[in-house]
Every structure is written in C-alpha cells, then in structure tokens.
C-alpha cells in the first residue's frame, strides 16, 4: 500500500505546514494509540529533542493517546536512541520521538519505535494510516489514558551508555571536546564522558529552542575542530540534534566521518572476536571502507541509503555492525538503533585498549577521492534519463575504464528533482573527469 504520511523515517516537515501541525499530530497520537495499544490500553513513551515546537506536539500526542485509552510516560528532551532503549527496557507498547534530527528548528517530525526498540514495520505504519482516515473518537472517561513524567529517564540512559564498554577502562587523562548541537544530548553526553573519567569540554550545549543544529553538531564539525585545536584536546565528538549520529575529530582537528568510525569499530570487534558476519554500509559508503575491510578479511555489503535499510539487513542475517558516512552507526551487539554516544564510546574504548590516537586508528583506512555532481532534471523523468542509451553507455564506459579501482553510482534524489552522479576512484583527477563525463551525458539528455 502506498503510504500517504509516513516516509522512510516517520513523518517530517516544516512546522505549521502540511501534516506538521497540532491538529494532525493530535489525531496521529489517537491513531497510533488505537493500533499500538491493541485495544487494551498499554503504555507509550514520548520523548523529544530541544526545538521549541516540541512542547506543542508533545501536548498534542499526549491528548490523542489518552483519548485512545493509552497511558503515557513523558521523558522530556531525550536522544532518539535513548527512547528506543527505554521503550524496550520499560516494556512499553511503543516509543514516540518528536524530532527532525539534523534539520533546523523550523522543521519537526514524529517517529515511532516498537516495543522491541526497533522502528515500526511498514505494515504497522499502514495500519496507523488507516486509522487516520477514520473519525476520531474518545474512550469512556474510566478508560482514558493517564500521563506521568518519568523522572529518572536521563540517569537510566546514562548508565546504559556506560555499560556498552568495559567498566575497567580508565579514561583519566583523556581530554575530549563534545559538541551536542544544542540538541537532545546536551544534558547527557557530557555527563557520560565525565563519569567514565575523561576531562570534558562541552560546546553546543546551551539549547534555547531555536538554535538546534545551528553552527554546531555532526553536520557542521568546524566549531568542534577549532575547539579541539584551541584546547589541545585528544579528540572531539560531534552529535546531531537527536543524538543518533556521530562525527569525530582527531587530535589534529581533522574530521573522522562515519565510514572511518565504522572501520575502527569493525577492526576492534574483529581483534576481540566480537564481529559477527559482514559489515553493512550503503551505496554512498566510500570505496576505501570496502577495500580496507576486505584487506582485513571482513565482508562488506551495500544497501539503499538510510539506517532503516542497514538495520533490516543486519537483522535478516543476524550480523552486528553497519553504518553510514553521515555517522549513523548501528552496533547491534549493543543496542537496537543508531546511537551517537554509544558509537563514540566504542572508539574511545579502542583508543584506551591500544594506546593509539584517533588519527592513528583511522590511518588503516584510506578514503578514495569521491566526486558528487547534482544535475537538475528540468521537466525530464528520472527513470527515462537513467534508462537512456546515452547515459547507460557513459556509465559503462567509465566503469570499464576504472575497473575494480573505481565505482559509479547514478541515482535520483529522493527529495529534489535531481539526478545524483557519484564517481569514486584512486586518482582524484580521473574521478573528477569521469564524473563530469557522465554528468554531461545526463545534461545533454535533459536539454534535448
């Protein structure tokens, strides 16, 4: 069934536009309560990031769930992975996150976790959409849901994060800068790092409802890199607004992206006997990661872009590790979803065990030069462009020239009328030339 409201990661958009308004979210809470409560009430957790509209949508969801006869536990500002963890460990029927992740404060969204701490299956989202098409009703007063605030949610999650690395490790003497993106980890990540013994400098940790992801966080690591250099820190950790992704900075201020973090964790797990199966990345993962893992004797599989698809593949095969260059790292042997704090702790543990710097750990993987060109479609259809003989021939020609030392990815954007042309290879000049050749073939067809 084609879904009207749910995208690949819940429902998201500009606040006050489309479906991101109080009236719709009220009914969404009711519809979700009807489906997830199975007609027997149940308990649903609600958490949010720090954007100002979270207060409004929190109240709307609470009212809708209560009208459906579902009890509510309010968590307040909490990272997305914390809500997944607490939903599972508190045996709730579901968890709801009010967040637009790395987007600016003008946006917001609603996403769900099942009772197991995983994202909802498509079939359940479709059932919620069916309920949204019905008139809203209210259960009798004696069956209305009750709301309580879970006062110790923060402490529970901090202890969980710490439990994902051995308690015997001593991080005293390690100076870390942590960038919380003025988001949901502002009152958690610094405390986790301090409690394991590190010296912590926190930046991007003063949310005011409007500054989430503004100049800070995993998508804007410049402030972190500067702070690491100025403070003489050993490394930096940048989280995004809802805390499910992480980018790091080494001792020289150089950015360490999700592909490199994934490589470090994979090699650590391999050394310690904790790596199960292949590592899963996406079609956008750097070819250097695939080559580096192959040199270690580790398999690597690619899936569609999105942590949802990574988790699906890991679950299907019962594998334990996957991630994206953007910093969504899933350590399935530790938790059920991408978790920026947990992923960073795995890297810190490897630094502690090996005595190596972050720069030294990343050096085992050499990133291949990558060129990405976005070509506007104009009035052309993406499917027609990608299937055309001229474009197919251009791609095949480049692939034949580059052989095993290169990779071509041609795909339509999921959000804009664009064709994305991506080429990777060992030599930057060759990569750029080949990307331009394919992009030109696309432009010529669009203009025809």
Which active-site residues does the annotation give? 101
SS (H, E, C) the chain: CCCCCCECCEEEEECCCCCCCHHHHHHHHHHHHHHHCCCCCCEEEEEECCCCHHHHHHHHHHHHHHHCCCEEEEEEECCHHHHHHHHHHCCCCEEEEECCCCCCCCEEEEEEEECCCCECCHHHHHHHHHHHCCCCCCCCHHHCCCEEECCCHHHHHHHHHHHCCCCCCCCCCCEEEEECCCCCCCCCHHHHHHHCCCEEEEECCCCCCCCCCCCCCCCCCHHHHHHHHHHCCCEEEEECCCCCCEEEECCCCCEECHHHHHHHHHHHHHHCCCCCCCEEEECCCCHHHHHHHHHCCCCEEEECCCHHHHHHHHHHHCCCEEECCCCCEEECCCCCCCCHHHHHHHHHHHHHHHCCCHHHHHCCCCCCCEEEEEEECCCCCHHHHHHCHHHHHHHHHHHHHHHHHEEEEEEECCCCCEEEEEEEECCHHHHHHHHHHHHHHHHHHHHC
Q: Quick one: CA dihedral 150, 151, 152, 158, positive or negative? A: positive
- Judge contact between 211 and 267, C-beta under 8 A: no
Q: Quick one: CA dihedral 25, 30, 32, 37, positive or negative? A: positive
């Amino acid at each position: 069934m084609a879904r009207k409201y749910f995208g690949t990661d819940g429902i998201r958009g500009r606040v006050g536009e489309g479906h991101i308004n109080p009236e719709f979210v009220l009914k969404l809470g009711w519809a979700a309560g009807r489906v997830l409560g199975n007609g027997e009430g149940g308990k649903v957790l609600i958490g949010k990031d720090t954007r100002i509209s979270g207060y409004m949508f929190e109240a709307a969801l609470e009212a809708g769930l209560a009208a459906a006869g579902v009890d509510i536990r309010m968590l307040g500002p909490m990272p997305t992975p914390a809500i997944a963890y607490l939903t599972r460990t508190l045996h709730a029927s579901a968890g709801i996150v009010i967040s637009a992740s790395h987007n600016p404060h003008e946006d917001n969204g609603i996403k769900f976790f099942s009772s197991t701490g995983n994202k909802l299956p498509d079939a359940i989202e479709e059932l919620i959409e069916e309920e949204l098409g019905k008139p809203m009703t209210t259960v009798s007063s004696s069956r209305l849901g009750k709301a309580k605030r879970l006062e110790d949610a923060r402490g529970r999650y901090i202890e969980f994060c710490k439990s994902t690395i051995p308690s015997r490790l001593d991080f005293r003497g390690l100076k870390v800068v942590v960038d919380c993106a003025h988001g949901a980890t502002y009152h958690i990540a610094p405390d986790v790092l301090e409690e394991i013994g590190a010296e912590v400098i926190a930046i991007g940790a003063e949310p005011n409802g409007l500054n989430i992801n503004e100049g800070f966080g995993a998508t804007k690591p410049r402030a972190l890199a500067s702070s690491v250099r100025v403070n003489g820190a050993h490394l930096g950790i940048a989280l995004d607004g809802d805390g499910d992704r992480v980018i790091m900075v080494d001792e020289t201020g150089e950015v360490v992206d999700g592909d490199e973090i994934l490589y470090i964790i994979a090699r650590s797990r391999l050394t310690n006997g904790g790596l199960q199966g292949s590592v899963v990345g996406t079609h956008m993962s750097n070819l250097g990661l695939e080559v580096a893992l192959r040199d270690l004797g580790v398999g690597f599989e690619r899936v569609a872009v999105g942590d949802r698809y990574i988790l699906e593949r890991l679950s299907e095969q019962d594998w334990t590790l996957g991630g994206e260059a953007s910093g969504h790292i899933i350590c399935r042997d530790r938790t059920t979803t991408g978790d920026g704090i947990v992923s960073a702790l795995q890297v810190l543990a490897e630094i502690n065990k090996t005595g190596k710097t972050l720069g030294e750990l990343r050096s085992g993987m050499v990133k291949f030069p990558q060129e990405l060109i976005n070509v506007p479609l104009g009035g052309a259809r993406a499917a027609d462009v990608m299937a055309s003989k001229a474009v197919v021939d251009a791609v095949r020609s480049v692939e034949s020239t580059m052989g095993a030392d290169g990779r071509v990815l041609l795909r339509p954007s999921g959000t804009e009328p664009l064709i994305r042309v991506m080429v990777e290879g060992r030599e930057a000049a060759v990569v750029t030339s080949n990307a331009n050749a394919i992009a030109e073939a696309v432009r010529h067809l669009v203009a025809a």
